[in-house]
């Protein structure tokens, strides 16, 4: 059975690949994207405008944009000099649309209309949040800093109970299939689902929940992790998927995965990133 409504949780390139895969088989696709990033262009705009991180929202909007799309090159272009050095044009457009409409979700919807998106992109929280991690060496604050930390045991958001858009909870309630990941375990994947309102909604959902595991360890964030270690980390944060989808051909060990899982080739032929077509071929029959 093909899933009618698919919801993808995550951030960055991994969530974009999952959205590109889901749009191949689902009637309706929604991306719920972490907005905890505090590095690069997104971090600078957060400080300047007190807006949520927009970089991963931009990537995921483009993953759902109509094809071919004349706006893609514009949204992806980065300035190379001056005060705008490093800023993606799409980040500035998103920040401008949010400011113009005075509302985060309305601004994102306007960007979706501009790009002709075939699905919806939503922020995991409707207010700026800071990601914090407990590690073997103490607390590390900020997503950019956490990506450079090892020995992570848990992550949390500040504020701990941030506002979650009603549209996110509605999407979970109406979903047939929920994809979590792929992406950086702590700084993208868990960052998108640890708001208590989201964790509670995922616990109550009747939808099939599938975890899409990273292809490789991410050093130092998930150094030494097997697929089972990823699943255990999800469980420590209250997330228990129905299925795990992984690809151990690139060196990730499986470990003792006690859930149902599929281990299959998922990478692009020329680099270690998820191939949307291969993801769709594996995930669609699970629904």
- pLDDT bin (cut points 50, 70, 90) of residue 39 is confident
| Residue 41 pLDDT | 85
| Residue 83 pLDDT | 87
| Residue 2 pLDDT | 60
Q: pLDDT, tens digit, for every residue of 45-104?
A: 888 888 898 999 999 999 999 988 889 999 999 999 888 888 899 999 999 999 999 999
| Residue 132 pLDDT | 97
Q: Considering its fold, how many domains does the chain have in total?
A: 1
Task: Please give the share of the chain, as a percent, with pLDDT higher than 90.
Answer: 84
- What are the C-alpha distances in Å from 221 to residues 134, 144, 151, 230? 12, 11, 7, 11
CATH number at residue 234: 3.40.50.10680
Residues 50 and 128: beta-carbon distance below 8 Å: yes
Q: What's the rounded mean pLDDT across residues 8-20?
A: 96
Residues 93 and 75: beta-carbon distance below 8 Å: yes
Q: pLDDT, tens digit, for every residue of 134-186?
A: 999 899 999 999 999 989 999 999 999 999 999 999 999 999 999 999 999 99
pTM exceeds 0.85 = yes
Going by C-alpha positions, the residue among 61, 71, 142 that lies closest to residue 98 is 61
Q: What's the rounded mean pLDDT across residues 28-37?
A: 96
Q: Is the pLDDT of residue 1 over 60?
A: no
* Segments forming the whole domain that contains residue 224: 5-286
Strand 260-263's sheet: what is its strand order? 120-123, 28-33, 5-10, 177-180, 208-212, 243-246, 260-263
H helical segments located in 89-245? 89-101, 104-115, 143-146, 166-174, 190-193, 196-204, 227-236
């Amino acid at each position: 059975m093909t899933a009618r409504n698919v919801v993808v949780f995550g951030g960055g390139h991994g969530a974009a690949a999952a959205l590109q895969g889901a749009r191949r088989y689902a009637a309706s696709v929604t991306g719920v994207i972490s907005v905890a990033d505090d590095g690069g262009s997104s971090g600078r705009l957060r400080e300047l405008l007190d807006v949520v991180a927009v970089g991963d929202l931009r990537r995921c909007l483009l993953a759902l944009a109509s094809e071919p799309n004349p706006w893609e090159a514009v949204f992806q272009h980065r300035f190379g000099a001056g005060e705008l050095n490093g800023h993606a044009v799409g980040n500035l457009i998103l920040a401008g649309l949010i400011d113009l409409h005075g509302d985060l979700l309305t601004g994102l919807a306007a960007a979706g209309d501009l790009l002709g998106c075939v699905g919806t992109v939503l922020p995991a929280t409707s207010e700026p949040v800071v990601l914090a991690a407990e590690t073997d060496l103490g607390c590390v604050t900020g997503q950019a800093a956490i990506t450079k930390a090892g020995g992570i045991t848990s992550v949390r958001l500040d504020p701990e109970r941030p506002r979650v858009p009603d549209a996110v909870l509605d999407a979970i309630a109406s979903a047939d299939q929920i994809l979590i990941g792929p992406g950086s375990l702590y700084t993208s994947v868990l960052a998108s689902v640890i708001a208590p309102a989201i964790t509670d909604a995922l616990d109550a959902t009747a939808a099939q929940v599938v975890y899409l595991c990273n292809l490789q360890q991410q050093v130092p964030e998930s150094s030494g992790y097997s697929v089972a270690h990823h699943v255990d980390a999800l469980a420590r944060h209250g997330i228990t998927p129905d299925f795990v989808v992984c690809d151990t051909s690139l060196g990730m060990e499986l470990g003792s995965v006690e859930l149902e899982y599929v281990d299959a080739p998922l990478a692009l032929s020329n680099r270690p990133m998820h191939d949307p077509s291969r993801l769709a071929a594996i995930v669609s029959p699970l629904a």
